Structure 1
Amino acid sequence: MTTADCVPDQQALVRVGASVRERLVADPGVYRIENDRVELFAVGDFLSLAECEKLCAMIDDVARPSSLHELDYASGFRTSYSGDLDPHESFVKGISRRIDDLMGLDPATGEPVQGQRYLPGQQFQPHNDWFYTSEKYWQLEEARGGQRSWTTMAYLNTVEAGGGTHFTELGFEIEPKPGVLLIWNNALPDGRPNEATMHAGMPVLKGAKYVITKWYRTRQWR
């Protein structure tokens, strides 16, 4: 059995990782958050305040209790409200395309932009964005696009208290700042899933937290 047989989509993750890495490092508007365990980047003012406000309103329209594969909202693991934004709506399409262009990735490999809203006490406990290929859900995810490669997440508002993104394996937390786009590679340079990308949406203590997230797959999203 080869290494590629052991890790589904490994060679694709190597290729996608290298191409995006090269593009982001060369972009003067992208800041690399130095860490030797995770490829983590940020873009300040990726979204304007007006765009953030409009996205928050759109999230309010689609937000439903979040679930996570076999876990439902009642499990308490992910207690935000979330929903996919209409990919055919011109404003959403424009935001999505800007992320595609920044990453240099084929739009066909991107999942729909998802909006998430956290109110006081709501959180998303520590998790990885990549899929555990030993789990039952992998058969579905493999068929509809394969493994997740990169994550992009934009903060849309100032949170009065709490709501940071805590990278639990790295030991630091990123404070939400409206308009900032956070980007990370879910794989190691050799294409294996990176355990160090474990992160949590910390509980909101006061106010609300709004974000949008767009994930990319190794193949066309179906």
Structure 2
Amino acid sequence: MLKIVGSILLLSLVGLLTVRCSDLYTAMSDLEGIFKTEGRMIKAVEEYLRQERDRLEKIETKLANLRRLNQEGQEDVDAYLSHPFNAFLLTKRFLWEWVDLENWIKISMPSREYIFNTTGLRSKGPQQSDLDGAAEALWRLQDTYKFTPAELVEGAKTEDALKAHHCFEVGRLAYHVANDKYHAIPWMEEAHRLLNNETMEGDFFTMNETEILDHLAFASFSEERLDDAIAFTNKLIALVPDSIRYTDNKAYYQYLLDKKYRPRGETGDLKKLSLDDVEEEEEEEEIAEEDMDEDDLRKVHPDIRQYRALCRGDEGVVKSMPKPALRTCSYQHYDQPQLILQPAKEEIAFVKPRIVVYHDILSNEEIAALKDIAKPRNSTSGHLEQTKFRISKCGWVQHDEAEVIRRLYRRVGAYTGLSMNATEFLQIANYGLGGHYLPHFDFTRDVATHKNGNRIASMLFYLSDVAKGGDTVFIDAGAKIKPEKGSAIFWYNLFKNGKVDERTKHASCPVISGSKWVANMWMHEHGQEFRRPCSTGKSE
């Protein structure tokens, strides 16, 4: 509208300035027309001022909302960012709401300096890939912990309360950006449930019930949920009875649904079934699908199913210590002089495979020092491992880089009795929003590629507590270890005969709330011959 008003104003001025004076004064009657032209110009400027005031009011409203959200988040940054939906909203706000505000400011010419300054600042902040990753983290938490959208956002600090457009935005990302109709459906359903004549003026996205149902209908069709597609389309037809597209879509969905329950005969022709036959087949189909959970229907790999069940703590999946080998805790010095006055706090968490938890192996001061060393690497020479397999940010620290590193290697040598000469650099990693590591082994099957042999053992240090999620699970063993700041877990990846221990397949559960810091230390075979002597036993 402002462009239109500007064009009218410009044309009016051009029309006035191109009239020659002689023509004007020789035709006095034209003065009446000039008065009318001037009147239109005055009205055009008045309209411009009105719209400018409206624009500034909207900018002020948007700015007040952004200021309030920023202040709320800064009251307790750690608590705010520990909730995954808050982290998503912060990223989304940076990429959408601020862009929307800039668009309103760009309309005004005096805003050039502002745009120049803020564009440079925004380039250093979250990008579209960060928003996509934040949304994928929400979907990952849904898949792993079977959260509904309402459960997932519980406790998040939205503008006032959870609104339909919050859920619509997540569903829209799944639908359009990720082409993930499966995850779009529950968020759109929640958006539809929450939609109660909400005022969307000033929001980046505007949507209504028709738009939500339109997304739901096609997403359901894409996921072969034809009954749902028809149900949503019926609601669309009720809202827009004259729509040919919705009517045609319903007919097509119904055709596919009917075809689904008509098995082909030997000739390839469709059998003529009675209504009773169709109902009977539908009932059998429903019974078969009822016996399958969502992972069955989506053909999820058994390891991933077990991993998710362990992360949730499903009954019968997480295994406890077998009797009579009860979970035991003890002080140990392992005949090491340096541990006489400050022995190791050892807890046998699991027997097969043997998983040992060392409590208080790190002090708070040492943890802070390790994080300080790692943070510059995580932002520069480190890298973000963001794949379907692993999402974390990590850096590598050399053995002799700092006294705290050297002290840690000596301590691990004393605790485990292993040589540290063939130990990899310490890896320090941070798992944030939905950060995880899918089931994997630490050992390699191609030993020839490692001059120091295979990874004989692993030590995983927990540098932080995790409010929710982030557990370490061992897939085949059924063991589950909760992160505890200052503790570490230790296990052997190889039997004494040098064969790999398949029971050590492990994973990191997605972080629900909080930030997870860990450090990994991997010891190799070479140099361990007299510290962990070989054996011909198959299970030693």
TM-score of the superposed pair, with normalisation by structure 2: 0.32
Q: 1:140 and 2:458 equivalent?
A: no
Instruction: Compare 205-214 and 100-109 and name the one that shifted more.
Output: 100-109
In the alignment, the residues of structure 1 paired with residue 399 and residue 495 of structure 2 have an alpha-carbon distance, to the nearest angstrom, of 30
* Counterparts of 1:207 and 1:75, CA distance in 2: 20
Partner of 2:399: 87
- Percent of paired sites with the same residue: 26
Q: Of Structure 1 and Structure 2, which has the larger fraction of its residues in helix? A: 2
1:65 aligns with 2:374: no
The alpha-carbon deviation at position 74 of structure 1 amounts to 4.9
Q: Which structure has the higher relative contact order (CA within 8 Å, separation 6+)?
A: 1
CA RMSD of superposed structures (Å)? 2.0
Post-superposition Cα deviations, 1:67-115, rounded to whole Å, max 9, x if no partner, equal xxxxxx4532111111111322222111122112222222212111111
Q: Any idea what SS the aligned residue of 1:29 has?
A: strand
1:29 aligns with 2:345: yes
Please give the secondary structure, in 2, of the residue aligned with 1:108. Answer: coil
| Cα distance, 1:25 vs structure 2 | 9.8
Matched position secondary structure for 2:357: strand
Larger % of strand: which? Answer: 1
Distance in 2, matches of 1:98 and 1:25, equals: 11
Is residue 442 of structure 2 the alignment partner of residue 129 of structure 1? yes
Match of 1:180 in 2: 487
SS of 2:406's equivalent in the other structure is helix
Structure 2 residue identity aligned to 1:62? R
1:191–1:163 distance in 2 versus 1, CA, 3 Å:
same
Aligned-partner residue type, residue 466 of structure 2: V
Any idea what the Cα deviations from partners look like across 1:7-54, whole Å, max 9, x if unmatched?
xxxxxxxxxxxxxxxxx895763222232x202111110111221222
Give the total of aligned pairs: 184
Aligned to 1:195: 502
Change (3 A) 1:128 1:164: same
Q: Which residue of 2 aligns with 1:101?
A: 414
Q: Higher mean Cα deviation, 46-55 or 176-185?
A: 46-55
Q: 2: CA distance between counterparts of 1:121 and 1:29?
A: 31
Runs of 4+ in 1 over 3 A off after TM superposition: 24-29
Aligned to 2:388: 76
Rg larger for: 2
What secondary structure sits across from 2:421 in the alignment?
helix
| Distance in 2 of aligned mates of 1:34 and 1:176 | 15
In structure 2, the CA distance between the partners of 1:79 and 1:176, relative to structure 1 (3 Å rule), is same
**8 A Cα contact 2:462 2:484, kept in partner:** yes
Structure 1 unaligned segments of length 5 or more: list them. Answer: 1-23, 67-72
Query: Gaps (5+ residues) in structure 2?
Result: 1-331, 336-343, 528-540
TM-score, normalisation: structure 1: 0.76
**What letter is aligned with 2:403?**
S
Partner of 1:110: 423
Query: Per-residue CA shift, 1:151-201, capped at 9, x if unaligned?
Result: 011101111221110111112321100111110010124331011100001
Distance 1:45 1:214, change over 3 A: same
| 8 Å contact from structure 1 (residues 118, 204) kept in 2 | yes
The one-letter code sitting in structure 1 at the alignment partner of 2:349 is I
- Distance change (3 Å), C-alpha of 1:189 and 1:140: closer
Matched, 1:44 2:359: yes
